């Protein structure tokens, strides 16, 4: 399952914690995979009583990018249940290398690549020079590929461990909703069956499930206060 969040929506973090808690209480979570930690980082081997300091160290957690308070509930619920928490993102060095990796241009079809380019333009408030659009798109694609790789490895390990049981388990990814988009994101780089759930702030009721072409389900949550995310870049107040 791919669960897409809006990073600054508190309700989304609450839902993540509740979902992980629900799955672990029933023995149905095989692994928790995170955009918020790098590939190669994992809580595998930590005791269930590990402290938050130990968990953050194992994941090399970057508070400046991902406030721990937002994700501690979901992460610690998995750790307490003995479920591995696995990093899936690229390092800064790998991200810089992706910018000039032209082979990534062929990782998506032309329509999806065009969509990603436009998202880079709008996501950076139209402030990026056009020469930087495709390099930033490559970064997005490379991150999606890395998360797909981590998901498939976690799924394979979980299935191997469960060979002698009939218990169905879920490998759950937490990531921004752009990454879980079925038409341009992680699902484009995977061959196994997926369920994509995109949480979206701005719904009239919470929770409400609705259909969407880019996800299997959209979980609508209460609207957030209006925010001009481009104000700091454009000089608006």
Please state the rounded mean pLDDT for residues 29-45.
97
pLDDT confidence band for 236 (50 / 70 / 90): very low
Residue linked to tokens 């160290």 = 57
pLDDT digits (tens, 9 = 90+) for 154-192: 999 888 877 766 676 899 999 999 999 999 999 999 998
Residue 87 has pLDDT above 90, yes or no: yes
The pLDDT, as a whole number, for residue 224 is 87
Helical segments of 9-51, H only: 10-25
The separation between the first and the last C-alpha atoms of the chain, rounded to the nearest angstrom, is 39
Per this entry, what is the length of the chain? 237
Q: What is the CATH architecture assignment of 2-109+141-234? A: 3-Layer(aba) Sandwich (3.40)
Could you give the dihedral angle defined by the CA atoms of residues 145, 149, 151 and 155, in that order, rounded to the nearest 10 degrees?
A: 150
Chain centroid, CA 133 distance in Å: 22
Average pLDDT, the chain: 91
Q: Report whether pLDDT(134) > 90.
A: yes
Determine the pLDDT at residue 58: 98
What mean pLDDT is predicted for residues 121-140? 93
Quote the CA–CA distance of 70 and 73 in Å, as a whole number: 7
Alpha-helix runs per DSSP H in 26-67: 52-59
37: burial class by Cβ within 10 Å (0-12, 13-18, 19+)?
buried
Asked if 15 and 199 count as a contact pair (C-beta separation under 8 A), the reply is yes
Per DSSP, the three-state class of 161 is: helix
Query: Is pTM, for the whole model, over 0.85?
Result: yes
């Amino acid at each position: 399952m791919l669960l897409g969040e809006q990073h600054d929506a508190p309700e989304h973090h609450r839902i993540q914690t509740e979902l992980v808690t629900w799955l672990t209480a029933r023995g149905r979570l095989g692994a928790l995979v995170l955009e918020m930690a790098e590939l190669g980082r994992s809580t595998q081997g930590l005791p269930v009583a590990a402290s938050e300091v130990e968990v953050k160290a194992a994941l090399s957690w970057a508070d400046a990018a991902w406030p721990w308070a937002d994700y501690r509930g979901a992460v610690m619920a998995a750790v307490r249940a003995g479920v591995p928490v696995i990093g899936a993102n690229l390092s800064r060095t790998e991200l810089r290398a992706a910018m000039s990796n032209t082979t990534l241009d062929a990782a998506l079809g032309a329509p999806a690549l065009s969509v990603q380019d436009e998202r880079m333009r709008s996501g950076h408030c139209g402030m990026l020079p056009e020469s930087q659009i495709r390099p930033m798109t490559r970064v997005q694609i490379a991150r999606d590929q890395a998360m797909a790789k981590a998901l498939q490895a976690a799924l394979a390990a979980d299935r191997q461990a469960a060979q002698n049981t009939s218990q169905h388990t879920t490998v759950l990814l937490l990531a921004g909703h752009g990454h879980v988009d079925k038409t341009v994101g992680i699902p484009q780089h995977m061959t196994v069956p997926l369920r994509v759930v995109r949480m979206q702030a701005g719904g009239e009721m919470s929770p409400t499930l609705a259909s969407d072409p880019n996800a299997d389900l959209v979980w609508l949550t209460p609207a957030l206060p209006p925010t001009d995310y481009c104000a700091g870049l454009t000089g608006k107040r």
